[in-house]
Amino acid sequence: MNKYDVIVVGAGHAGVEAASAAARMGANTLLFVIKMESIARMSCNPTIGGPAKGHLAREIDALGGLIGMAADATGIQFRMLNRKKGPAVWAPRCQNDRGLYTRFMTAELENTPNLLIIESIIDDIIVAKNMVTGVRSHLGEEYLAPRVIITAGTFLRGRVFVGDVSYSAGRAGEPSADKLSLSLEKLGLHLARFKTGTPPRIDIRTADISCMELQPGDENPTGFSYYRDIELKNLVDCYLTWTNPTTHQIISGNLDKSSLYGGFISGTGPRYCPSIEDKIVKFSTKEHHHVFIEPEGLYTYEAYVNGVSNSLPPHIQEKMIASITGLENARIMRYGYAIEYDYVIPDSLTPTMETKNVKGLYLAGQINGTSGYEEAAAQGIAAGINAVLSLDKKAAVIFDRSQSYLGVLLDDLVTKGTNEPYRLFTSRSEYRLFLRQDNADERLMPLGYKLGLVSDVRWQKYLQVQKVIETEMDFLAKHNTTLTEGLTESTRLINILKRPQMEFHDLTKYGYNIPENVTPDIANRILLKVKYAGYFKRQLGDIERFNRMEQAELSVDIDYMQIKSIAWEAREKLNRIKPLSIGQAARIPGVNITDINALIIFLKKLKKEI
């Protein structure tokens, strides 16, 4: 009765992707959630996207995941960041209705065949002979499956801090999962502590938005999902205000009461998302820090005060908020808090997110030391896909860092580990010019379709778009300008696009009529392909070199401690990570080029001896 193919523990952003992918790939899947009402809950800001994160959301969508669709369907404000900077780093971002997002995802999962959801707390992972066989709930019930994916987020021994008060919780208002930590430790996984935090939420009716800077959505909203034709609407505005020296005085005068600075928290927090206490202490010369007021949804007056995440006692939080321009009379609805939780040091995983020491056990999401919904979702879908592939005895999908941010994320985690909650940035990719938000479908949709995660309808639309791009590029390469505005002689239309500052619609000045099926998206893709062909060619050269290193496979059976010509520290690291290729070996921190040379010499010698 209680036998499944895949069990997913946790229904956050990683868990929902893992369970959905597994079920849609045909596995009989069981998903555990601690509280049914909090499936795919946005526990931090109600936002999806931004640089690298938006790219990731589009990649997951192209692969057949849910996050892009849910974001588009429940989005209430859309912006394309970096639009004025560069086309290769345009980054979609949206504000979401927090409640709608959860409801949308819940409905999606409920309507997925092969998928069962149960509300329960899982205490134990059952393992026999280094193979996972199932899980045990806090009620003592056993659920069996040969593949188990743990997506416990911040719930492992989670502890919420507000001032000098702290209590056990997975996040505000939900119980933590304490016994699961012990179970993971017993399996030989190494755990450490991270911290993160959230800001207070206010009643937006009590804020004076008239003295803040208005932040409207884009005129032509762009979302995340490919070929689903979800109508995007801007329904709310955001607002920008700033802290001031008074705010800073209130904070620095009460630092000893903050959980973070009062010595109550030991875990490491993310440097890119510092608490307001951190900002004041570490950047004391800055007189103002920005504060964004972001509405939480259409059916609530709650608004997220982005920029002042803190763990100060409630009355200090009230004083601090009241010192901010426009928030003088603001009423806090929920207080900010810090949360400290266990994470598993991710070098115990392979790039499929499977643990090295327990076959069939996968970890995905914040449990691996990452932060962010998109990062979690990416690991979730990768784990879900690979759990089912290995059940079906098919080759694993290893996401390649030259092909996707997903690959960058997974490879960074298992190869480099992380000493703070890991967030993706575009600068983490060596192949940024190629990993754009516009071409995620070209990079990942064929794989998603092959895996059965992309529907036929979407696939046909994708093929159609590819065909239009090909046809138009061919046309531009073969046809000359007919109007010669500013030209001494006629030239191929494609040459016009190559000129600096020339946009696609400028072609109309040279006698080109933009066909109806060339949408703004297609026009942009063609422009990019033509204008930056030289750059892309250079980047592709890099990718070829990268692939050669990546294709030099390493057996996981190599005992690096025996290779005396490699430095001791590097040997230890290689033995721990067990890289799958020379390329991956070279990326391990502490393994330098001379170690790699020695490794190559060793392997060549070995080959000769055999």
What residues line the site for another protein (CB under 8 A)? 45, 50-52, 81-82, 85-89, 91, 270-274, 279, 282-283, 286, 289-290, 292, 306-307, 425-428, 432-433, 500-501, 532, 535, 538-539, 562-565, 567, 589, 592-595, 597-598, 601-602, 605-606, 609
Instruction: Give the Cα separation of 174 and 230 in Å (integer).
Output: 33
Residue 481 CB, nearest approach to another protein (Å): 21
**Smallest separation, CB 497 to another protein (Å):** 13
Give exposure, 562-571, as e/b (b: 16+ Cβ within 10 Å): ebeebeeebb
Which of residues 223 and 274 has its CB atom nearest to another protein in the complex? 274
Rank residues 9 and 596 by Cβ distance to another protein and give the closer one.
596
Scan for tokens 């500013």, then name that residue. 486
Output the six-digit token pair for 17: 């992707």
**In terms of Cα–Cα distance, which of 428, 41, 71 is closest to 228?**
71
Closest contact distance (angstroms) between CB of 166 and another protein is 24
- Least separation in angstroms between CB 387 and another protein: 31
Least distance from another protein to the Cβ atom of residue 253, Å: 20
User: How far apart are alpha carbons 328 and 314 in whole angstroms?
Assistant: 16
- Cβ distance to another protein smaller for residue 286 or 450: 286
Nearer to another protein, 133 or 244 (CB): 244
Min dist CB 490 to another protein, Å, is 23
Nearer to another protein by C-beta: 477 or 606? 606
Quick one: 395 or 593, whose CB is closer to another protein? Answer: 593
Cβ nearer to another protein, comparing 81 with 230? 81
| Residue among 7 and 52 whose Cβ is closer to another protein | 52
Pairwise CA distance, residues 23 & 4, whole Å: 11
Segment 325-329 long-range contacts (CB within 8 Å, at least 24 positions apart): 325/211, 325/212, 325/241, 325/242, 325/244, 326/207, 326/208, 326/209, 326/210, 326/211, 326/212, 326/239, 326/241, 326/293, 327/202, 327/207, 327/208, 327/241, 327/291, 328/208, 329/206, 329/207, 329/208
The answer to whether the CB of 97 falls within 8 A of the CB of 296 is yes
For another protein, which is the closer residue by CB, 329 or 597? 597
Give the nearer residue to another protein in terms of CB position, either 211 or 561. 561
Minimum CB distance to another protein, residue 599 (Å): 10
263-301 core/surface letters (b: 16 or more CB in 10 A; e: else) = ebbebbbbeebbbbbbbbbeeeeeeebebbbbbbbeeeb
**What is the nearest approach in angstroms of another protein to the Cβ of residue 501?**
6
Q: Look at residues 272, 226, 271 and name the one whose alpha carbon lies nearest to residue 92.
A: 226
User: What are the DSSP calls for 126-142, one per residue?
Assistant: EEETTEEEEEEETTS-E
Residue whose token pair is 């997925």? 112
For the chain, the distance separating the N- and C-terminal CA atoms, rounded to the nearest angstrom, is 51
Nearer of residues 307 and 448 to another protein, judged by Cβ: 307
Closest CB 469 distance from another protein, rounded Å:
21
Residue 478 or residue 538: which is nearer to another protein going by CB? 538
| Strand pairing category for 75-81 and 91-96 | antiparallel
Q: Cβ 325 to another protein, closest distance in Å?
A: 16
**Whose Cβ is closer to another protein: residue 456's or residue 559's?**
559
CA-closest candidate to residue 17, choices 361, 373, 356, 372: 373
CB of 204 to another protein, least distance (A): 17
Q: Are 512 and 493 in contact (CB under 8 A)?
A: yes
Q: Are 12 and 31 in contact (CB under 8 A)?
A: no
Rounded to 5°, angle at Cα 484 from 483 and 489: 130
Residue 118: CB partners within 8 Å, gap ≥ 6? 30, 31, 32, 33
Smallest distance, another protein to C-beta of residue 313, A: 22
Conformational region of residue 163, where left means phi above 0, alpha means psi within -120 to 50, and beta covers everything else: left
Distance CA 399, CA 360 (A): 19
The answer to whether the beta carbons of residues 225 and 457 sit under 8 Å apart is: no
Radius of gyration from C-alpha coordinates of the chain? 26
Query: Angle at CA 271, nearest 5°, toward 269 and 276?
Result: 80
Would you say 93 and 47 are in contact if contact means Cβ atoms under 8 Å apart? yes
In the complex, least distance from residue 416 CB atom to another protein, rounded to whole angstroms? 9
Which of 478/604 has CB closer to another protein?
Answer: 604
State the minimum distance, in angstroms, from the CB of residue 240 to another protein: 9
Nearer to another protein, 508 or 597 (CB): 597
Q: Write out the two tokens for 486.
A: 């500013």
Distance CA 222, CA 75 (A): 11
Q: Quote the least distance from Cβ 302 to another protein, whole Å.
A: 17
Q: Hunting for tokens 């002689």 — which residue is that?
A: 489
